[in-house]
Amino acid sequence: MRSFVWFTLAVASLVTAAPSETKPCGAHKIKEEIAHPIGWVKGKPAHPDVPIELRIALPQPNFSELERHLYEVSDPFHERYGQHLSKEEVEALVAPHSESVHMVNEWLASHGIYEDDIVRSPAKDWVRVTVPIRLAEQMMDTKYYVWVNEKDGNTIIRTTQYSIPENVHEHVELVQPTTLFSTLRGMDTTFRFTAEDSANVAKVNADAPPISVPSASGGKVDASCNSTITVTCLLQLYNAVGFKPTGKVGNAIGITGYLEQFANIADLQLFYAEQRPDALNSSFKFVSVKGGLNNQTLSEAGAEANLDTQFAFGLTHPIPGTFYSTAGRPPFIPDAGTPTDTNEPYTDWLDFVLSHPSPPQTISTSYADSEQTVPVSFAKRACNGFAQLGARGVSLTFSSGDGGVGDGDPNPATQTCFSNDGRNVTRFIPLFPPSCPFVTAVGGTIHIPETAVFFSGGGFSNVFNRPTFQELAVSKFLAKLPKGKFAGLFNPNGRAIPDVAAQADLFKIFLSGRTGLIGGTSAAAPTFAAFVSLLNEARLSKRQAPLGFLNPLLYTIDALSPKAFNDITVGNNPGCGTEGFNATQGWDAVTGLGTPNFGVLKDIVTSFPVSLLP
């Protein structure tokens, strides 16, 4: 047992200690207030009988201790590298103080809500209760309205201000859904049927000489890969030809699915037949989160889900794969008999996976929100959840975004990029969760030799400070920017995005029985995740621990072994009426550290001298 178990037990005892003397609920005091959200129109008051699920976050007084453990087990030069924490150890480190549990219980009880009405997270740091709108308004001295999104007409029930009793303030970190006006979306994948064109391209490329790429397997990549990306292309380009995972060392990879995106098994079999015949007749494990569906009707196949699963699982076969289908999708038309759509399903997934004793060691997500639409309190709390997974040995990749430095508008010239703080000034728009420092943000490249793809999301967080592991690489990039360039448009002290990159366009997939090409950083994230999973396979086969939280390792490797990443120095990511940032030597805000050289990375990550598994 590790030396910090005494601390774990001490924290756990705080949670079970006898509560202090009950205090009556005091006068309400504003907990959170936001300006009128850009792009939303306030409609009629929410119907008082509509049920709403409130998520109440209790403070995590020992999170800094968890963060210390996280960085120690993620630092390749620390003696504790790879000694990841157990589920129970993590839960003890994020548990609230017993006084907070008691005070929140008293507040809820004063409104007739008792233990049988409450759903608690395993660590007791989250409380969920479902109440009618009228009771939520009474509890928080607020008024809910139906808000309509100007772009797509989707509706949500929200408020711009809420209060809680003053004597409960220090015991509640946040309550949602209240001020969260985010619109979770997949990356802007563009699918186009090109069966005839692909056939013609294949004929042209059949006799073309291979492309010389010194870092690739054998120093060459098939000429066809410059117009159509396949599993073979990626294995060649990222120097992984010849590595054969067994799938029998306890390794696993996961893909998250939202917004009714269904990964179609029939399409997967067509993909395997063409690109990975040795995987034919194999599949993945399906996991439903909070009622997530698994519609296998061919016409209901999702381009996003098919892209993610076909390439992530195609690159890693026979490593076991899991697809998580999480319920929750706008538009929502509220009425007296329909539950509200909270429109934050990735936190439902986070709750679920944190409760699971053995999640996959690598998990990729291709969905995000504009960071400025997520209340700071909520963003930080969700980010802390990702840290918990990292401490348990899980590597998380997120697409960096498909709007360049902008707001997701496919036309960089028309992106508005207004701040959402009431000032309406022009600002670059980073995305969350990619802006969370505890996940690995993946940008995009195109063509061979690789250049930055124009839509690759990149920039700097306005919520999270730059972590120390980024300081050396990012400060060099900032020093190269002409003085005053983009002044006021970004936060030069923020967490920098992306961390790494991978190919992000012209991916050949099967959708509803037909082939076509698809692009977006939603292709890059599962691709990079697949190579991380292969690295985990190499480590686990040597009885070493999985990589877990990647970022400290990635930036350390880049500083010491430049050949581990293919540096991308051409391209930019326009948006907000600007040309965006430029790709350049070293880290940049378009492609991060660059794309992976699996062969070099494998030799590095398996060379750590200590065997970390029993």
With beta carbons less than 8 A apart as the criterion, state whether 392 and 94 touch: no
Q: Is 304 among the residues known to form the active site?
A: yes
H or E element, residue 305: helix 303-316
Q: Encode pLDDT of 257-275 as tens digits.
A: 887 788 999 999 999 999 9
With 60 as the cut, is the pLDDT of residue 533 above it? Answer: yes
pLDDT value of residue 569: 98
**pLDDT tens per residue across span 284-306:** 999 999 888 898 888 788 899 99
pLDDT at 417: 86
Of 369-383, 391-405, 544-558, 594-608, least confident by mean pLDDT is 369-383
pLDDT, average across residues 34-57: 92
* Annotated binding-site residue? 406: no
Q: Check: CB of residue 253 under 8 Å from CB of residue 362.
A: yes
441-456 confidence digits (pLDDT tens): 999 999 999 999 999 9
pTM of the complete model beyond 0.85: yes
pLDDT: which is higher, 234 or 608: 234
Q: What is the pLDDT of residues 558-607, one digit of tens each?
A: 999 989 999 999 999 999 989 999 999 999 999 999 999 999 999 999 98
pLDDT of residue 344: 60
Give the pLDDT score at 293: 85
Choice among 91, 125, 173, 308 that is catalytic: 308
List CB contacts of 49: < 8 A, sequence separation 6 or more. Answer: 132, 133, 134, 336
Q: Residue holding tokens 């509706």? A: 155
Residue closest to 73 by CA, chosen among 607, 614, 596, 551? 551
Predicted confidence (pLDDT) at residue 4 exceeds the cutoff of 80:
no
User: What is the rounded average pLDDT of the residues 12-35?
Assistant: 63
H or E stretch including 537?
Answer: helix 521-540
Name the nearest CA neighbour of 308 among 529, 498, 592: 529
Q: Which residue spans within 313-413 are E strands per DSSP?
A: 321-326, 362-365, 367-370, 395-399
Q: Residue 308 catalytic?
A: yes
* Mean pLDDT score, 2-20: 39
| More confident position, 92 or 562 | 92
Tokens read off for 186: 């997949």
Give 184's pLDDT tier (boundaries 50, 70, 90): low
pLDDT of res. 17: 39
Using only C-alpha atoms, what is the Rg of the chain?
A: 24
Is the per-residue pLDDT at 411 higher than 60? Answer: no
So what's the pLDDT on residue 192?
55
567 is known to lie in a ligand binding site: yes
Does a cis peptide bond (omega within 30 degrees of 0) precede residue 359?
Answer: no
Which of the pair, 343 or 505, is modelled with greater confidence? 505
Phi, psi values for residue 13, rounded to 5° = -65, -30
Q: Comparing 52-61, 410-419, 517-526, which segment has the lowest mean pLDDT?
A: 410-419
* Digit-coded pLDDT (tens) for 208-219: 899 999 999 999
Domains defined for the chain, CATH in brackets = 5-14+23-181 (no CATH), 245-329+342-605 (3.40.50.200)
Say which residues have a Cβ less than 8 Å from residue 203's Cβ, sequence separation at least 6.
Answer: none
Beta bridge partners of 331: none
550's enclosing H/E stretch is none
| SS3 (DSSP) at 138 | helix
What's residue 425's pLDDT? 82
pLDDT score for 370: 87
Residue 2 pLDDT:
41
509 is in an annotated binding site: no
Q: Strand 595-596 to strand 565-566: parallel, antiparallel, or no bridges (unpaired)?
A: antiparallel
Residue 23 has pLDDT above 70, yes or no: no
Residue for token pair 């250049």: 451
pLDDT tops 50 at residue 75:
yes
For residues 534 and 598, the answer to whether their CB atoms sit within 8 Å is yes
Mean pLDDT of 423-433: 88
pLDDT number for residue 204: 53
Q: Could you tell me which residue, 374 or 549, shows the higher pLDDT?
A: 549
Give CA–CA dist 61/84, Å, rounded.
Answer: 21
**217 to each of 20, 226, 324, how far by Cα in Å?**
65, 16, 33
pLDDT above 90 for 203: no
Paired sense of beta strands 40-45 and 51-57, if any: unpaired
Q: Quick one: which of 453, 481, 489 has its CA closest to 577?
A: 489
- Say how many residues make up the chain: 614
Is residue 224's pLDDT more than 90? yes
Q: What is the Cα–Cα distance from 488 to 483, expressed in whole angstroms?
A: 12
Separation between Cα atoms, residue 442 and residue 499, nearest integer Å: 6
Looking at this protein, which amino acid is placed at residue 540? L
User: CA 34 to CA 27: how far, in whole Å?
Assistant: 21
Using the predicted structure, report yes or no on whether residue 311 has a pLDDT greater than 60.
yes
How many CB atoms neighbour CB 467 within 10 A?
16
Sorting pLDDT into bands at 50, 70 and 90, what band is 347? confident
Active site (annotated) includes residue 522: yes
Q: Which of 304, 344, 371, 505 is catalytic?
A: 304
Whether 196 has a pLDDT exceeding 80, the answer reads no
- Would you state the pLDDT for residue 3? 39
The answer on whether 207 is annotated among ligand-binding residues is no
| Residue of 522, 533, 537, 558 with catalytic role | 522
Sign of CA dihedral 382, 383, 384, 390: positive
* 357-358-361-364 Cα dihedral, nearest 10 degrees: -70
| d(C-alpha 62, C-alpha 418), whole Å | 36
Mean pLDDT of 132-145: 96
